[in-house]
Amino acid sequence: MKKPILLLLLLFAVFKNVKAQELVSSEQFQKLIGYLNDENWKDAADLSETYLKAIPDDKIDWDAAAIVRYMYLTSESGLMNSGGITQQEALKKVSRFAGHTIIFPWRSVTVAFGMNKIMPHNDKADTLMVTATNRKATSIFAFEYIVPVPGISLDDLKSFAGKSCRVNGTLKSVSVEGHILPRYRLLIDKASLKFGE
């Protein structure tokens, strides 16, 4: 059975970029990824929060913490979307992340619309957007807006279409929107884009 693309990309980001940091061990990441893969939002949220609490304050913006922070946001959004927690609870749990680094999983770049893909917002590349969903793309977890620094032109972004990209930036703000289909709205600024194959 194929693993969801989102979680495979998270796994790749974890082991390629965090292995040397050991703030969170490979075994710990494996367990957390297992919960996310199974869409077991409650255990994923509890475990990622445990990992974050164990990270020293002076390392809270290291790559491992930034990746786990995104996993926690995904878990909490899954809980909110499925009715496991209220919008107010979901926002309260993640609002403390504002001002801290966040690292997205590797995602494909597109200039057209696509779920779980990095695309231009309003046909411009000064702000990019991701519609983050569950593996079947039946539940929207977040609308993620990304302001890259330095900026990127639309033509340059088009040249990366079909390639993978990882976003690393500061979570400027997080809010909750939607009543029937609740989700987060994230604004990431000072974002760096790393393009792969």
pLDDT of amino acid 2: 41
What distance lies between CA 108 and its chain's CA centroid? 13
In degrees and rounded to multiples of 5, residue 117 shows phi and psi of -125, 150
For residue 45, give its domain range.
5-195
Asked if residues 51 and 30 have their Cβ atoms less than 8 Å apart, the reply is no
pLDDT score for 7: 47
Task: Note the pLDDT of residue 177.
Answer: 94
Cβ neighbours of 122 (radius 10 Å): 7
Return d(Cα 106, Cα 5) in angstroms, integer. Answer: 9
Q: For residue 14, what pLDDT is reported?
A: 46
Q: What pLDDT shows up at residue 21? A: 52
Digit-coded pLDDT (tens) for 96-111: 999 999 999 999 999 9
* Residue 76: per-residue pLDDT: 96
Ranges under pLDDT 70 in the chain:
1-21
Q: In this structure, what are the phi and psi dihedrals at residue 18, rounded to the nearest 5 degrees?
A: -120, -15
Return d(Cα 46, Cα 44) in angstroms, integer: 6
> What's the distance, Cα to Cα, between the start and end of the chain in Å?
24
Residue 181 is predicted with a pLDDT of: 87
C-alpha span between 77 and 41 (Å, rounded):
8
- What total number of domains does the chain contain? 1
In the numeric block, the tokens 């695309």 are attached to: 119
